Amino acid sequence: MDNIRLFLILALGAVLFLIYQAWVDDYGQLAPATAATTERPADPTTVAVPETGTRTEAPADLPTPPPTDAAATDAPAIGAAAPEGAPIVVQTDVIKVDISPRGGTINNLWLHDYHVTADDPDQDFQLLKALPPNMFIAQSGLLGRDPELIPNHNALFTSEQTKYTLADDSDQLTVELTHGDPSGILVTKRYRFTRGSYVVEVSQDVSNGSATPISVWDYSQLQRTPFSDPNEPRFVNTYTGAVYYGPEVKYKKEDFKDIAEEPLDIQVTNGWIAMIQHYFIGAWIPPDGVSQTFYTMDVMSGAEPKYVIGRKATNGITIPPGGTHSFTERLYAGPKLQDHLDEVAPGLRLAVDYGWLTFIAEPIFWLLELIHSVVGNWGWAIIILTILIKAAFYKLSETSYKSMANMRQVAPRLKALKDRYGDDKDRLNQAMMELYKKEKINPLGGCLPILVQIPVFIALYWVLLESVELRHAPFMLWIDNLTAPDPYYILPLIMGVSMFIQQKLNPPPPDPMQEKIMMALPFVFTVFFAFFPSGLVLYWTVNQLLSIAQQWHITRNIEKAAAKRRAN
């Protein structure tokens, strides 16, 4: 029993160390790009000319950037032409967006309801960002037989104005960008913003005013550099990278290493692509019922590699002279609010990455959110949830603590046996088994209940770590941010003291070295938890205090019963 308990505790310490190692791997300096990568251009590359016909396979690659000296001649004078460097600024009640005239790319996006730090509510969190570090942009465009006529994400668009604001008496705002060609092909790119929503509806309307049919494909992609947030707590490691979903493939991750080693190229219908990071997501959601080719690539530009995940129509649309066609899709750029993600697209909620324990974590979050809707404070919701989980496992914990209390009763006799038999392991083990049988003690009785509870505790850990609903949430007194470490280390100290007290309630290991290690663990864990988010430490501390109360009650009852038997 003692050896197994020691193994479990040391294993937990090893897990904490691995978490730190993963943090170093994810947020440390990235390895240089390979030689093959450095030869790639800064933006997606060449266009293959499609075959003629009504429906055609999409070009294999994406368009090259135009020469810098030709950039100014790409767009005709339709509307008030904005200088290439001047973004089109869009303000709604929940986001601020910068749209570049170059391709209509969404270069910057700020979230009004989320802030960089809890201490500075005036500095909105920036999810999309045009420049490194943490570059992250959303691009879209069209492909065609003649790249000079069909605008991709490198073409220069124009708009009637450079600033749009959602009016107080309006629920929607539409921003139009246009690109025309002397041949008569006109493309209008529309962004439709909705009050209270992080979903942007994007359409690309193609009007063929030329004398010949044209074949057109639409595409969209997300491009970013590796992510590093200095405001994230240390020892907290979450996934940052590309993900995609489809009924045929389900939810898949493509981390930056995968993208660099083996580019993705699959066909999916009714799916989506995304780049995710801690708490936030950017996702392109194409229309239902249209076959899409999902792809990834890595490109080298400047000091950092850039990673791309994108989708393009598997089949092109042929537009006859005088005809029109509208390509539509949606962009979600915002927090990973679980209820909202369910409404946006099937499977999008899976971007809240609870790992392999999702089937346990989702009900836990549902219960935590329900409690919060009643009490109105995430800290108290965590405490009440911890109490409910502890109550659900009360009987299992009772079995464990009874076993520990009984082991505590025979601990002096076990020590005497060890002193008697010394290094004779066979006789010592035989004598111990006889003692356990005589006293009706199962030395493994305290382990199984603990093992059963471990998946629930790990799932709760990920719920508290991954849920954006708790981001920057205050509790009370000095704890004003449950996702940041305790600024005064009071909670970790309380946790360490409670762990030390519980060690005293456990039966002492017969081996003096094991006993010293066990007594040192509270100090080690106190140091670890000093860097953990306060919400996690609050859960662990409350759970520890409840465990002490239950174990003390059970131990006292067993000791009273043992004293009564001796008296009789």
What confidence tens digit (pLDDT) does each residue in 298-351 have? 887 666 789 999 999 999 899 999 999 999 999 999 999 988 998 999 999 999
Separation of alpha carbons 498 and 299, rounded Å: 52
User: What's the pLDDT score for residue 322?
Assistant: 92
By mean pLDDT, which of 152-156, 170-174, 407-411, 467-471 is the weakest? Answer: 407-411
Residues 381 and 429 reside in one and the same domain: yes
| Joined tokens for residue 1 | 């029993």
Residues 252 and 328 reside in one and the same domain: yes
User: What's the pLDDT score for residue 546?
Assistant: 87
Containing structural domain, residue 406: 2-18+364-567
User: What's the pLDDT score for residue 507?
Assistant: 64
Residue 159: closest CA among 116, 124, 199, 191: 191
User: What's the pLDDT score for residue 95?
Assistant: 96
Banded pLDDT at 514 (limits 50, 70, 90): low
In degrees and rounded to multiples of 5, residue 249 shows phi and psi of -115, -10
Residues 319 and 415 reside in one and the same domain: no
CA angle 127, 129, 133 (to 5 degrees): 105
* CB-based burial, 276-290: b 16+ in 10 Å, e otherwise: bbbbbbbbbbbeeeb
Banded pLDDT at 446 (limits 50, 70, 90): low
Q: Which residue did the predictor score with more confidence, 377 or 523?
A: 377
In degrees and rounded to multiples of 5, residue 195 shows phi and psi of -55, 135
Q: Over the chain, what is the mean pLDDT?
A: 78
Q: Which residue did the predictor score with more confidence, 27 or 9?
A: 9
Residues 300 and 439 reside in one and the same domain: no
Banded pLDDT at 233 (limits 50, 70, 90): low
Q: Which residue did the predictor score with more confidence, 348 or 405?
A: 348
Task: Tell me which of 317, 335, 353 is where a domain ends.
Answer: 335
| Joined tokens for residue 261 | 């080693």
Separation of alpha carbons 553 and 131, rounded Å: 60
Tell me: the pLDDT tens digits for 262-280? 899 999 999 999 999 989 9
Residue 495 lies in a domain: yes
Residues 11 and 38 reside in one and the same domain: no
Residues 76 and 187 reside in one and the same domain: yes
Residues 105 and 235 reside in one and the same domain: yes
Residues 400 and 470 reside in one and the same domain: yes
**pLDDT at residue 55 above 80?**
no
**pLDDT at residue 395 above 90?**
no
* CB-based burial, 514-532: b 16+ in 10 Å, e otherwise: eeeebeebbeebbebbbbb
Mean pLDDT confidence for 147-154: 81
Mean pLDDT confidence for 489-508: 81
Residues 419 and 303 reside in one and the same domain: no
H or E stretch including 281?
strand 280-285
Peptide bond into 44 cis (omega under 30): no
| Joined tokens for residue 279 | 């708490």
β-partners of residue 215 are 318
